[in-house]
């Protein structure tokens, strides 16, 4: 085995990348980066009947979107390829012959079985779960396993171990649902005369109600996150905390900070609870920390997808809602007033009978401002309200409805600045109460 840390993410392309797989990839990535090691992406595509070509592309796309750049694998090359198991049959055949030569496999009903040693207890020294043991003296509980099917194809356990040997993987970090498989893998390593890598089994992800998270549950499919308006760094931050703890109250991390802080010792042994509301909150925190230019860059595609035009006004307006949204997909709804003025009937119903008169007075007040400034215009509302014995909100609310048609959106000063003098005055004088 290599003395340099080498981890791997080895998904099977039988379905789209889910949040559990993404977390496994992240933990392997963080550990490799923390230790100055190598992160390998290997595709376990030997199950031809279940292999989905689109799923392979989705794995690469999901990894790239998260920013989990692998060092070896598809598109990167490396000295230990090929990195698709479907291209490694010659390697597997050679290792199978080693087992044949030492009498560790035998044929039964057309398939080939690996003969376990029956010396008693096999112990796994897991870096997260501690020591776990299985008694191999009882053949009824631990029957010899098939390693080569009757059609000549090899099963997961065999090719997984061979690849870890050939690729000199030093640490296997994967879900705790693989713990029982690991005992089989340890026996294969020993049969090949190779010291097994270090194993670290991470806790499973559960729904808020404690049930096991399935691929159909909300938030399970990674591919939905870009579409829903999540930002990559926020999702990386969120899934890092599904099972790992920084041992203090810090919740918001950049990827670089996660690399610095991550350790296998700080991975929890209990199951992690998935909470989509927490993920959205974390997304909001990352949005709030963005540079405005970066926010514009990331939000603009959602505006264009909603049918808005890419104009200087739109680009100027996008930063005005940076503090208002949890998801990038929410941005267009806050800025629709730029191109289309549609009044919310519920909001119109809340306007007082004197609203048109107040709007006309406000329009007259700001019409002749020497330098037209949105926030300066808003500052004139307070004295205007005081003259009439009103609270400022009594004028701000109808102004907002007149300018946007909605009770929500950017700050009023930003709205006026976005629309400019002429359009602001036109809209203030346009609003009429329903009969």
Summarised one tens digit per residue, pLDDT across range 297-313 is: 999 999 999 999 999 99
**Whether 255 is catalytic:** no
Pair type for strands 105-108 and 38-41: unpaired
Banded pLDDT at 396 (limits 50, 70, 90): very high
ω into 127 cis (within 30 of 0): no
Please give the biggest Cα pair distance in the chain: 99
Q: What is the pLDDT of residue 435?
A: 63
- Is 382 annotated as a binding-site member? no
The strand pairing partners of 221, in sequence order, are: 18
* Least-confidence region, from 14-23, 109-118, 207-216: 207-216
Tokens (6 digits) for 359: 């709007």
Architecture per CATH, 88-202: 3-Layer(aba) Sandwich (3.40)
Architecture per CATH, 345-430: Orthogonal Bundle (1.10)
Overall average pLDDT of the 12-36 stretch? 94
Angle at 126 between CA 147 and CA 18, to 5 degrees: 70
What is the rounded distance in angstroms from the CA atom of residue 362 to the CA atom of residue 20? Answer: 56
Q: What is the pLDDT of residue 16?
A: 84
If one looks up domain 6-81+205-276 in CATH, what number appears?
A: 3.40.50.620
Banded pLDDT at 143 (limits 50, 70, 90): very high
Per residue, the 3-state secondary structure of 376-428, as one string, reads: HHHHCHHHHHHHCCCCCHHHHHHHHHHHHCCCCCCCHHHHHHHHHHHHHHHHH
Q: Which of 34, 76, 212, 215 is catalytic?
A: 215
Tokens (6 digits) for 165: 């040997």
Q: Would you list the domain boundaries of the chain?
A: 6-81+205-276, 88-202, 290-338, 345-430
Query: What would the DSSP string read from start to end of 50-108?
Result: T--HHHHHHHHHHHHHHT---SBBTTTB-TT---BGGG-HHHHHHHHHHHHHTT-EEEE
Angle at 419 between CA 415 and CA 423, to 5 degrees: 130
Residues 122/82, Cβ–Cβ less than 8 Å: no
What is the rounded distance in angstroms from the CA atom of residue 298 to the CA atom of residue 343? Answer: 28
Name the phi and psi angles at 314, rounded to 5. Answer: -65, -45
Banded pLDDT at 212 (limits 50, 70, 90): confident
Tokens (6 digits) for 416: 């006026």
Residues 172/24, Cβ–Cβ less than 8 Å: no
pLDDT in tens, 50-77: 657 788 999 999 999 999 999 999 999 9
Matching fold, domains 88-202 and 345-430: no
Name the phi and psi angles at 346, rounded to 5. Answer: -65, -40
The answer, yes or no, to whether residue 263 has pLDDT greater than 90, is: yes
Residue with tokens 């998935």: 274
Cα dist from 232 to 197, 251, 290, whole Å: 31, 16, 12
Overall average pLDDT of the 113-121 stretch? 91
Q: What is the pLDDT of residue 162?
A: 98
Helix (H) or strand (E) segment spanning residue 348: helix 345-349
pLDDT in tens, 350-369: 999 999 999 999 999 999 89
Closest to 219 measured CA to CA, from 285, 269, 298, 280: 280
Query: Average model confidence (pLDDT) for the chain?
Result: 94
């Amino acid at each position: 085995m290599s003395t340099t840390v080498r981890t791997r993410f080895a998904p099977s392309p039988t379905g789209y990348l889910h949040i559990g797989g993404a977390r496994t990839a992240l933990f392997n990535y963080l550990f490799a980066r923390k230790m100055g090691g190598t992160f390998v992406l290997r595709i376990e595509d030997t199950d031809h009947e279940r292999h989905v070509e689109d799923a392979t592309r989705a794995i690469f796309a999901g990894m790239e979107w998260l920013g989990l750049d692998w060092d070896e694998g598809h598109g990167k090359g490396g000295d230990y390829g090929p990195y698709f198991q479907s291209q490694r049959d010659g390697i597997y055949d050679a290792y199978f012959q080693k087992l044949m030569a030492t009498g560790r496999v035998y044929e039964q009903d057309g398939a080939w079985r690996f003969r376990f040693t029956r010396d008693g207890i096999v112990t796994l020294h897991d870096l997260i779960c501690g020591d776990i043991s299985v008694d191999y003296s009882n053949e009824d509980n631990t029957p010899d396993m098939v390693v080569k099917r009757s059609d000549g194809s090899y099963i997961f356990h065999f090719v997984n171990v061979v690849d870890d040997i050939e690729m000199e993987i030093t640490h296997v970090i994967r879900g705790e649902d693989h713990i029982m498989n690991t005992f089989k893998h340890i026996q294969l390593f020993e049969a090949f005369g190779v010291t097994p890598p270090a194993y670290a089994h991470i806790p499973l992800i559960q729904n808020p109600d404690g049930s096991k998270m399935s691929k159909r549950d909300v938030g399970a499919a990674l591919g939905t996150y870009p579409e829903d308006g999540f930002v990559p760094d926020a999702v990386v931050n969120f899934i890092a905390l599904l099972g790992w703890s920084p041992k203090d109250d810090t919740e918001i991390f950049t990827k670089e900070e996660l690399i610095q802080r991550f350790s296998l010792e700080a991975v929890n042994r209990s199951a992690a609870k998935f909470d989509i509301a927490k993920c959205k909150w974390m997304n909001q925190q990352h949005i709030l920390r963005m540079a405005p230019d970066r926010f514009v860059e990331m939000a603009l595609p959602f505006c264009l997808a909603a049918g808005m035009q890419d104009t200087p006004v739109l680009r100027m307006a996008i930063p005005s809602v940076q503090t208002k949204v949890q998801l990038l997909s929410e941005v267009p709804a806050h800025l629709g007033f730029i191109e289309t003025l549609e009044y919310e009937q519920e909001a119109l119903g809340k306007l007082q009978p004197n609203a048109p008169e107040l709007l006309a007075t406000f329009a007259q007040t700001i019409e002749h401002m020497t330098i037209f400034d949105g926030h300066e215009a808003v500052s004139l509302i307070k004295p205007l309200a005081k003259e009439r014995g009103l609270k400022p909100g009594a004028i701000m609310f109808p102004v907002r409805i007149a300018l946007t048609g909605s009770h929500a959106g950017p700050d009023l000063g930003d709205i006026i600045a976005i629309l400019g003098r002429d359009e602001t005055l036109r809209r203030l004088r346009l609003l009429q109460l329903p009969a």
